[in-house]
Amino acid sequence: MQKSGTVSWKCPSNIALVKYWGKFGRQYPKNPSISFTLNASHTITEVQYNYDENRSTPALSFLFEGFSNQKFAKKIEQFLNGIVDIFPLVKNLELNINSRNSFPHSSGIASSASSMAALAMCLVSIEKEIKGLESIDLNKASLIARLGSGSACRSVFPKIAVWGENKIIKGSSNDYAIPYYKNIHPIFLSFRDDILIVSHKEKSVSSRAGHALMNDNPYANTRFLQANNHLDVLVNAMKDGDLDTFGMIVEKEALTLHALMMASEPPYILLEPNTINIIRQVQKFRKNTMVPVYFTLDAGPNIHLLYPEEFSPIVNELKADLKKYCADGKIIDDGVGEGPQKL
């Protein structure tokens, strides 16, 4: 049998509240994580596919923002070859992929979560078309996304997602993320997350290398216990709408992630002076105004400002003040989003 078609998905990035840092085996997390799925920061991926049951290895052409990109193409080729055992259909596919991000490539935003989630959604859509399935399998999409980039597995679901087996959340799994917004206070479902771009530069140490350094980090086991405990406290705070506890845990998680990097062998620092300047100013602003605005960080120097939507007007005043710490004054206004969208 032969079949051709085109599928296209828009997939958002996500920001972890309790961070995944350290992995084992086939991209399994050493501790559970929970994230907000974003909205404005997204990848759009279009895949034209040709299915041929006589084909035995996947074939690929890849364009990023309209141009061929050898580095990304190689990564995707390795990824496709690496999922043949769990997604055998891929070996019968020739894929012509065209992908673009809503944010500039060098904005300092990790694009692997949105791009791998978008590609995974395209792959399960292709499976649905070829096999004539009734619906796409989101668990499978999340699992495939995970094999591309761990954190990508959480981008498959709207609003809030949890990844990693734990005692607190029923149905949680190391294999894929699950949606987790039903038992959450509504204030968090329209939360804002504005991204302050402190630096556009590529990170000096990749996430892949950072995860690997957790294997010999002397604080690793304590950290994994702490992450489980933070998840417990955080989901309860989010159920009750307890902003103080939410903020306390989220900021502790951000600083712990970077503390782990500074305590690795060899140690390294991804924070920039302006990251610290912003953190201090956010904490001072919160103390002076009582506005519940908090920061978190990814594995890089950029700050995510988290706050309830109703405080946008006053937080805009803070953002105007913080612009001076941002590269080219760049701030991406984002917030909790509805997850992947088929185009």
Binding site for ligand PMV (CB under 6 A): 16, 19-21, 33, 112, 149-151, 207, 257, 298-299
Instruction: Please report how close the Cβ of residue 22 comes to ligand PMV at its closest, in angstroms.
Output: 9
HSE-up of residue 142 (Cα within 13 Å, Cβ side)? 24
The 10 Å Cβ neighbour count of residue 240 is 12
Instruction: Please report how close the Cβ of residue 142 comes to ligand PMV at its closest, in angstroms.
Output: 13
16 vs 143 by CB, closer to ligand PMV: 16
**Ranges of H-type helices in 32-69:** none
d(CA 21, CA 19): 6
Instruction: Please report how close the Cβ of residue 121 comes to ligand PMV at its closest, in angstroms.
Output: 17
Q: Which residues contact 15 (CB under 8 A, 6 or more apart)?
A: 35, 36, 38, 193, 296, 298, 304
| Nearest to 332, CA basis, from 302, 310, 294, 292 | 302
Strand order in the sheet with 331-332: 294-297, 303-307, 192-196, 331-332
140 vs 146 by CB, closer to ligand PMV: 146
Instruction: Please report how close the Cβ of residue 208 comes to ligand PMV at its closest, in angstroms.
Output: 6
Q: Which helix (H) or strand (E) holds 145?
A: helix 138-148
41 vs 151 by CB, closer to ligand PMV: 151
Looking at the DSSP assignment, which residues form a beta bridge with residue 179?
161
90 vs 257 by CB, closer to ligand PMV: 257
Instruction: Please report how close the Cβ of residue 145 comes to ligand PMV at its closest, in angstroms.
Output: 10
Query: In sequence order, what DSSP letters do the residues of 287-307 get, joined into one string?
Result: HHH----EEEE-SSSPEEEEE
55 vs 82 by CB, closer to ligand PMV: 82
112 vs 172 by CB, closer to ligand PMV: 112
Q: Which residues contact 167 (CB under 8 A, 6 or more apart)?
A: 228
**Ranges of H-type helices in the chain:** 70-82, 112-131, 138-148, 207-213, 220-240, 243-262, 273-289, 312-322
d(CA 201, CA 100): 19
Instruction: Please report how close the Cβ of residue 238 comes to ligand PMV at its closest, in angstroms.
Output: 16
Instruction: Please report how close the Cβ of residue 70 comes to ligand PMV at its closest, in angstroms.
Output: 21
Tokens of 193: 């997350």
Polymer length of the chain:
343
Measured distance between the N- and C-terminal CA atoms of the chain, rounded to whole angstroms: 26
125 vs 207 by CB, closer to ligand PMV: 207
Instruction: Please report how close the Cβ of residue 29 comes to ligand PMV at its closest, in angstroms.
Output: 8
